[in-house]
Amino acid sequence: MLDMKWIREHADEVQRAADGKRIALNIGELLAADDERRRWMRETELLRETRNRASQTIGRLMQEGDREQAGKLRSETAQMLEQLHEAERRLAEAEQVWGQLMLRVPNIVSADTPWGESDADNVEMRRTGEPPAFEFEPRSHVVLGELHGLLDLARGVKTAGARHYYLRGAGVLLHRAVQQLALDLLLERGFMPLDVPLSVRHEAMMNTGFFPLGQDQSYKIEEEDRWLVGTSEVPLIAYYSNEVIDVSEPVKLAAASMCFRSEVGSAGRDVHGLYRVHQFAKVEQIILCEADFDVSERLLQEITANAEELLHLLELPYKVMAVCTGDMSQKTYKQFDIETWMPSRGAYGETHSSSNVADFQARRSNIRYRDADGKLRYCHTLNNTAVASPRILIPLLENHQEADGSIRIPQALRRYMGGMERLVPPAALTEPRMM
């Protein structure tokens, strides 16, 4: 959320951001709605003041024994009360219209954010590592997973429907290992871990900028004002809602949690195997800091570097992309995506995302701090996916496969895998397979 006074002074910039992010919003309509709201606010305040003065005068006349004059004034006040009720009704309507439009106002974007229509217009900043040059026909993560008994897609669909899965045996261990590696990395870098609620109130989703525009991507718990989170970013930010906090040093939080997304509108797109599923796990890193763009830019680079370090430890080739306006969410001021090489796709696929949200979430969530002058200000917030699994298992299995179907386990993961150095395909699977 942006400050209304600031929106008025920078209407063209806000409209440009809305257009760039493909958000249907007319800033002119918002300004007109705000004018209407303020008009009825002034009218209501004036009528309330008149009512209060009349009440005081009536009280004084009654004390003086002038009941006739008090009665006459009371009759005159009755008509004014009708006007007040009407003004209050009109104010409530105007505030509702204005409030709905305000919820669609996007964050502005940084000066160095590229402009474009979709992820095809994202700009590569750097790449690290080289895709492996296999001397054999590489297998997909689905084939490798089935060969090693690491996953069972058919039974996942049988049990829960499309885009659900079972991880099995060493697949579970890898899934847990990458999460623990990421969490340990963040602990070393000063992040405080939290175990967070996986269902939150509608207010928390709204305040963190995931509603109303992303509401169709979330699962609602019927008959309750609760929603399943698609990222622990929501409960981590909500942790400090309506508080004044100390950001003399940036507040760094991390969580490993399950996440849920409906993925409405993605039918037929990136749905093979484990790439786009309804249930997954993420290790998320969140930072709250002072409202200084130099500070939050430095921290954006820091959390992105943390994700890159994780990929170094997993020995995976990747590239960092500057995300364009058309691929950004409403709340985002500046964003980087990290794409990791996936041999089965013959391309890089998104595995991580870093965002500077500036004070957009803090305004909605009312998270403030006192600056050096003692003035209350809204914090800047930042977020990054340190790792998301099972998606990360796609490049992990595919890049480290060998000709005989074995899969080498990166050195950094072996301590979480009981010292296992590689996965060797069994000669035969003893458990009955679904036919």
Residue 248 catalytic? no
Superfamily of domain 4-102: Serine-tRNA synthetase, tRNA binding domain (1.10.287.40)
Residue 9 catalytic? no
> Mean pLDDT over residues 97-109, rounded?
96
Which tokens belong to 97?
Answer: 């219209």
Per-residue confidence (pLDDT) for residue 263, from 0 to 100: 80
Catalytic residue (choose from 37, 261, 363, 364): 261
171, 307 in Cβ contact below 8 A?
Answer: no
Residue 350 catalytic? yes
Catalytic residue (choose from 276, 345, 370, 377): 276
Which tokens belong to 395?
Answer: 């490049």
SS3 (DSSP) at 132? coil
**Cα–Cα distance for residue pair 253/243, rounded to 1 Å:** 16
**All residues at 6 or more sequence positions from 38 whose CB lies less than 8 Å from its CB, including other chains:** none
Catalytic residue (choose from 353, 354, 355, 365): 353
> Mean pLDDT over residues 343-356, rounded?
97
More confident site: 265 or 214:
214
> Mean pLDDT over residues 28-35, rounded?
97
Q: Grade residue 431 by pLDDT with cuts at 50, 70 and 90.
A: very low
> What single DSSP character describes residue 140?
P
pLDDT at 117 over 60: yes
What is the residue extent of each domain of the chain?
A: 4-102, 119-423
Q: What is the pTM of this model?
A: 0.90
pLDDT tens digit sequence for 371-419:
999 999 999 999 999 999 999 999 999 999 999 999 999 999 999 999 9
**Cα–Cα distance for residue pair 256/285, rounded to 1 Å:** 9
Question: What secondary structure does DSSP assign to 245-262, as a single string?
Answer: ---SS-EEEEEEEEEE--
Per-residue confidence (pLDDT) for residue 50, from 0 to 100: 81
Task: Work out the angle at residue 89's Cα, subtended by the Cα atoms of residues 88 and 93, and round it to the nearest 5 degrees.
Answer: 115
> What single DSSP character describes residue 361?
H
Residue 276 catalytic? yes
Fold of 119-423: BirA Bifunctional Protein; domain 2 (3.30.930)
Amino acid at 302: E
349, 323 in Cβ contact below 8 A?
Answer: no
Per-residue confidence (pLDDT) for residue 247, from 0 to 100: 98
Catalytic residue (choose from 163, 226, 363, 391): 391
> Mean pLDDT over residues 50-72, rounded?
70
> What single DSSP character describes residue 328?
S
SS3 (DSSP) at 312? helix
> What single DSSP character describes residue 284?
E
Residue 391 catalytic? yes
Catalytic residue (choose from 350, 354, 363, 365): 350
**Cα–Cα distance for residue pair 373/122, rounded to 1 Å:** 40
Per-residue confidence (pLDDT) for residue 48, from 0 to 100: 86
